[in-house]
Amino acid sequence: MTSTTRNASRVTRPDDDESEPSRAGGSTRTDVTPAAPKTAGTSAATGTTGTAEATEAAGATPEAVPAAPRRRLGPLLPARLRRLGRPHLLVELIFSVVLYKTYSLTRRAAPEHHEAALHRATDILNIERTLHVDIELTINHALDKVTWLIVGMNYYYATLHFIVTLGVLIWLYARHPASYRSARTALYAATFLALIGFTFFALAPPRLMEGQNFIDTVVTHHTWGSWDSKDVSSLSNQYAAMPSVHIVWSAWSGLTVAALARRTWVRVLGILYPFFTFTVILATGNHFLADAVAGAVTLSLGFLIQRLLLGRPAYVYPAPDPLPAGAAAPGPHPARVRTGDRADR
């Protein structure tokens, strides 16, 4: 009777034989119904992802479910137009010439709206005065007193705008082909946005405003290419000032050189170049501070459009210079190698 009672109590314990091996044989009981397999987030047989309810039933927390990958910006262009290598030279030359001709014709054909352009210039100057950032007149008068400097700035404004930008494009094509398509696309996109600004927002430069005492330094010093020449005036739209393409192109050139050049002094020149240009456009009376800010914003949008089209950063940075044959990679200085908490000297 006692033995029977002990056996009965042994069987009715809920967590004895079902959870531990038998003390006698070291194996689990074979008469216990196996538990149903846990439902995982991903089925091993089908490779499909289960529902959130199944995951919770399996004992997994919601955090254990892998998050969906984030979508990248772009690319919108097909793969054949997104290659890292340089495009064919003849095709690129034709493409660039057509775009530049389109830019020039559109800029000249944009409606000038003389009265509206002067009215907008007055509004912008009043806003800058309210914000106490109207620095144009001070810079214009201060630098005009140094004849050799202001004449040099006049030529800088008339020539380097094109020379430096073209030079950086050629340098990119020849030395950094992996970055050429992306960087060039950002420049062209920003220039196209600037054309939209010229077309719908004609703005007179400070030098054309009456009663504000701005000095037209090109006319005053009779610099080659003076605006009072009919030939020069007919070649460009004097009210295409917002945004400043000088800032768009110089900032693009400076960023490109600073990002890709190997020599430190060249990178420093790249960083300084947009600031030189900024000083020149104010000193010569050709732009407001607001034009420069709009130019920087326009270039930023150009880089954003480039990212959407190509789906990658504009610049592929150069690899470090290879080590000479037989040279070992630089290691820590022996005097600075620490053993435990004490430096070996």
Going by C-alpha positions, the residue among 195, 196, 184, 190 that lies closest to residue 93 is 184
Going by C-alpha positions, the residue among 286, 111, 321, 273 that lies closest to residue 195 is 111
Give the DSSP per-residue string, 247-315.
HHHHHHHHHHHHHH-SSHHHHHHHHHHHHHHHHHHHHTT---HHHHHHHHHHHHHHHHHHHHHHSS-S-
pTM: 0.70
Note the pLDDT tens digit of each residue in 26-75.
Answer: 444 444 444 444 444 444 434 444 444 444 444 445 555 556 556 666 78
Is the pLDDT higher at 82 or at 312?
312
* CA–CA gap between residue 182 and residue 51 (Å, rounded): 42
Going by C-alpha positions, the residue among 238, 205, 200, 197 that lies closest to residue 122 is 205
Answer whether residue 252 shows pLDDT above 60: yes
pLDDT at residue 286, rounded to an integer: 95
Is the pLDDT higher at 212 or at 15?
212
Give the domain ranges of the chain.
Answer: 113-310
Yes or no: say if 289 and 259 are a contact pair by the CB < 8 Å rule: no
Going by C-beta distance under 8 Å and a sequence separation of 6 or more, which residues neighbour residue 168? 252, 253, 256, 257
Is the pLDDT higher at 156 or at 63?
156
Report the percent of the chain where pLDDT is more than 90: 47
* CA–CA gap between residue 192 and residue 106 (Å, rounded): 10
The DSSP code for 340 is: T
pLDDT at residue 65, rounded to an integer: 55
Yes or no: say if 317 and 259 are a contact pair by the CB < 8 Å rule: yes
Sign of CA dihedral 126, 131, 137, 140: negative
Strands 338-339 and 342-343: antiparallel
Element (H, E) at 339: strand 338-339
Going by C-beta distance under 8 Å and a sequence separation of 6 or more, which residues neighbour residue 264? none
Going by C-beta distance under 8 Å and a sequence separation of 6 or more, which residues neighbour residue 149? 143
Going by C-alpha positions, the residue among 99, 215, 200 that lies closest to residue 151 is 215
* Joined tokens for residue 86: 């340089």
pLDDT at residue 166, rounded to an integer: 94
Note the pLDDT tens digit of each residue in 269-302.
Answer: 999 999 999 999 999 999 999 999 999 999 999 9
Average pLDDT of the chain is: 77
pLDDT, average across residues 205-211? 92
pLDDT at residue 332, rounded to an integer: 52
pLDDT at residue 145, rounded to an integer: 95
pLDDT at residue 237, rounded to an integer: 77
* Joined tokens for residue 197: 């600004």
Yes or no: say if 120 and 202 are a contact pair by the CB < 8 Å rule: yes
Which residue type is seen at 29?
R
Q: Which of 51-55, 117-121, 181-185, 287-291 has the lowest mean pLDDT?
A: 51-55
